[in-house]
């Protein structure tokens, strides 16, 4: 009888202990569930570029992104007649601009890059993440990056009579983006560009300002439509070129693209109102008017490589 009572007491003690543990575990689960989760927005855009312009996206820490972008000649030249057909809408016009770039991130908030932009011109840049869109205990409605880019024209090479710094131009840009839904993202690009030297003329300026926007609309898991528009505010009317001839540039830049994620690469086919592949030239010295049919076709292909193995920390 004593043994039976002892067993009953031990069983009751075990049951009470197990119940207390279950209650404690339940309280911990409730406390964890009551905590507000911090949700960081990802994939606002699929690449570090929208079409021509930089996006707020950066390569992952320790990753290198290689990109090839190709702009063909004008799709249709006014007065070109059947020659436009012979040139296969710019594909066989003998005019093309190729852009080769490398983006690398040492950290989660800084991206460094270098590019060969055609015509013996080069670009290098640094992109810094200032804010990241997120919800939860802390809510941030937009992602904001700052881009500082430097371009150099090395076509003529160094010369004793030439100040090399005169061939440099600089671009400063804020990239302000919001992912409104899983399908739609939009970005604003206020831009300031400085030329160290410009041709002599009454209306020529060293400092040029523009405002642009771009977006992405996801069609399916692997495809999307992208678009860009930018307007130049000054430095495009009644200018003089190096030969003192009058020239007018087109203040509006328009681009439309179709993105296809193949799983290993991002392929983009686009049409744009510029034949240049260089951002500074696209925003300041564009001669193509989209409204008159002066646009060109092109494509972009990019691929990311893991250079440095990053160990996740929790």
Closest CA to 285 of 229, 234, 236, 243: 236
- What separation in angstroms does the CA of 197 have from each of 3, 15, 165, 205, 242? 102, 85, 9, 9, 11
Q: For residue 205, is it within any domain?
A: yes
Q: Is residue 2 part of a domain?
A: no
Give the pLDDT of residue 16.
Answer: 47
C-beta of residue 104 within 8 angstroms of C-beta of residue 114? no
Task: Tell me the torsion sign for CA atoms 216, 74, 120, 163.
Answer: negative
In a domain, 176, yes or no: yes
Q: What is the pLDDT of residue 32?
A: 55
Average pLDDT of span 61-80: 82
- For the domain that residue 52 is a member of, what is the CATH number? 2.40.160.40
pLDDT band at 314 (very low <50, low <70, confident <90, very high): very low
CA neighbor of 308 nearest in space, from 65, 102, 63, 111: 63
Q: What Cα–Cα distance (Å) separates residue 4 from each residue in 16, 17, 273, 286?
A: 18, 20, 92, 96
- pLDDT, mean of residues 109-124: 92
Average pLDDT over residues 270-280: 92
- Confidence band of 28 (pLDDT split at 50, 70, 90): very low
* Within-domain flag for 147: yes
Mean pLDDT, rounded, for 163-187:
92
Residue 23 placed within a domain: no
Over the chain, what is the mean pLDDT? 84
Is residue 29 domain-resident?
Answer: no
Separation of alpha carbons 155 and 116, rounded Å: 12
With respect to residue 105, please indicate whether it lies within any of the assigned structural domains. yes
What is the pTM (predicted TM-score) of this model? 0.83
The domain tally of the chain equals: 1
Q: Is residue 276 part of a domain?
A: yes
> Domain span at residue 52?
39-154+166-306
């Amino acid at each position: 009888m004593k043994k039976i009572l002892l067993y009953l007491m031990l069983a009751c003690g075990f049951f009470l202990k197990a119940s207390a543990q279950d209650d404690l575990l339940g309280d911990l689960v409730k406390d964890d569930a009551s905590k507000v989760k911090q949700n960081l927005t990802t994939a606002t855009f699929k690449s570090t570029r929208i079409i021509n312009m930089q996006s707020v996206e950066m390569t992952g820490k320790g990753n290198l992104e290689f990109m090839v972008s190709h702009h063909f000649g004008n799709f249709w030249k006014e007065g070109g007649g059947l020659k436009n057909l012979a040139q296969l809408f710019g594909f066989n016009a003998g005019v093309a601009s190729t852009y080769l770039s490398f983006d690398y991130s040492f950290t989660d908030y800084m991206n460094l890059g270098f590019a060969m932009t055609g015509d013996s011109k080069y670009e290098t840049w640094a992109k810094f993440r200032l804010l990241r869109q997120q919800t939860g205990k802390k809510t941030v409605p937009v992602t904001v990056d700052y881009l500082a880019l430097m371009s150099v024209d090395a076509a003529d090479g160094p010369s004793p009579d030439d100040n090399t710094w005169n061939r440099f131009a600089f671009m400063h840009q804020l990239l302000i983006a919001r992912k409104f839904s899983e399908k739609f993202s939009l970005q604003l690009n206020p831009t300031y560009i400085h030329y160290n030297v410009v041709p002599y003329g009454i209306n020529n300026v060293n400092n040029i300002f523009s405002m642009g926007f771009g977006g992405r609309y996801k069609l399916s898991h692997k495809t999307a439509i992208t678009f860009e528009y930018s307007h130049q505010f000054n430095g495009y009317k009644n200018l003089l070129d190096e030969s003192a001839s009058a020239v007018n540039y087109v203040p509006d830049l328009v681009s439309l693209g179709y993105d296809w994620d193949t799983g290993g690469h991002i392929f983009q086919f686009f049409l744009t109102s510029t034949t240049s592949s260089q951002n500074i030239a696209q925003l300041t010295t564009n001669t193509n008017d989209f409204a008159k049919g002066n646009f060109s076709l092109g494509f972009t292909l990019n691929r990311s490589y893991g250079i440095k193995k990053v160990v996740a920390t929790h």
